[in-house]
Amino acid sequence: LVQLYIPLNFMGMLYREIKQALIDIDDMFRIIEQHPEIQDRPGAQPLVVREGEVRFEDVHFAYTSARPILKGISFAVPAGRTVAIVGPSGAGKSTISRLLFRFYEPTSGGILIDGQDISEVQQASLRAAIGMVPQDTVLFNDTIGYNIAYGRDGARPEDIAEAARLAQIDGFVRALPEGYDTPVGERGLKLSGGEKQRVAIARTILKAPPILILDEATSALDSFTEKEIQDALERVSRDRTTIVIAHRLSTVVGADEIIVLDGGVIVERGTHADLLARDGVYAAMWDRQRKAAEAMETLQQTQAQE
């Protein structure tokens, strides 16, 4: 039996390895398929970021010609400022960030960084200038240190630890038996949504890009984690041009401008105070979220008393 067990066990191991390799390859193809290579124009020059102003000028976009997604979007994020984009699911918020990365090109209109049309510049230079903290970070099957260091080539261990400290994940990593050498990802330690997001924040701090896109998680985090992430995000976005795709209205209160997107058009825009005074879509969203937050607090208090 033992003679049979060893080869079977080995085959099982081999099967798991091959399956994981196939999943990795599958993921890679999915990413490539989603973003068919957009070519640099002949003679494209590198993007030169001076101040970091981002401008969308009458941008129209459709994934398929039958269904327009963005219908004439214009806004500017002055250098170092924060613009928040809010709106219902499917409004086209993430599409705006995909266009800024130039994963897709607008059907018409233009996207400019410091006056340079992003369709005219070298893509590598464009992507180097933009940092992204996505909703759900996919980790590499490697150590947590590697996953943070991925933000910058040749990052030193002390830089990695400093970035992790600023992203409020350093304490968590140090408490792991293998510290920064702990394997994570599919084959290693599974991290929670909030932990993964802090890894992404640490990575972005190391990359130190002049322009930042934050795609807030929709999933509920406990209020302690939420506060930690909020602080880390505030730190990373300070003095950087930031576009935040916001799901929590608490994030947008301090934004320089809030853009309310619905059905691919901007239906309202202004500061938090402007929009509340207007008593329109945003004010209704705010009211709904405030009531939901109050209900959650009452529930937590009741649970705590039980």
Q: Where do contacts with ligand ATP occur on this chain (CB under 6 A)?
A: 63-64, 69, 87, 89-95
What is the rounded end-to-end Cα distance, in angstroms, of the chain? 55
Using the minimum distance from each CB to ligand ATP, give the nearer residue, 92 or 210: 92
Using the minimum distance from each CB to ligand ATP, give the nearer residue, 143 or 197: 197
Of 107, 96, 104, 98, which is closest to residue 56 (Cα–Cα)?
96
User: Checking phi first, is residue 170 left (phi over 0); if not, alpha (psi -120 to 50) or beta?
Assistant: alpha
Using the minimum distance from each CB to ligand ATP, give the nearer residue, 86 or 212: 86
One-letter amino acid identity for 143?
T
| Distance in Å, CB of 95 to ligand ATP, minimum | 3
| Distance in Å, CB of 294 to ligand ATP, minimum | 23
Using the minimum distance from each CB to ligand ATP, give the nearer residue, 129 or 261: 261
Considering all CA atoms of the chain, what is the largest pairwise distance in Å, rounded to the nearest integer? Answer: 78
| Distance in Å, CB of 273 to ligand ATP, minimum | 24
| Distance in Å, CB of 69 to ligand ATP, minimum | 5
| Distance in Å, CB of 35 to ligand ATP, minimum | 9
| Distance in Å, CB of 290 to ligand ATP, minimum | 19
Strands, E assignment, the chain: 54-64, 67-77, 82-86, 108-113, 116-117, 130-133, 211-215, 241-245, 257-262, 265-270
CA 266 – CA 72 distance, rounded (Å): 8
Residue 264 contacts residue 69 (beta carbons within 8 Å): yes
Using the minimum distance from each CB to ligand ATP, give the nearer residue, 259 or 275: 259
How far lies 18's CA from each of 11, 13, 37, 140, 213, in Å?
Answer: 10, 9, 28, 17, 36
Using the minimum distance from each CB to ligand ATP, give the nearer residue, 39 or 64: 64
Q: Apex CA 70: angle with CA 67 and CA 74, to 5°?
A: 160
Q: Return the structure tokens found at 242.
A: 């930031």
| Distance in Å, CB of 181 to ligand ATP, minimum | 35
| Distance in Å, CB of 161 to ligand ATP, minimum | 33
Using the minimum distance from each CB to ligand ATP, give the nearer residue, 10 or 63: 63
DSSP 138: P
Residue 169, classed as helix, strand or coil, is coil
Judge residue 46's burial from the number of C-beta atoms within 10 Å of its C-beta, 0-12 exposed, 13-18 middle, 19 or more buried. middle
Using the minimum distance from each CB to ligand ATP, give the nearer residue, 13 or 28: 28
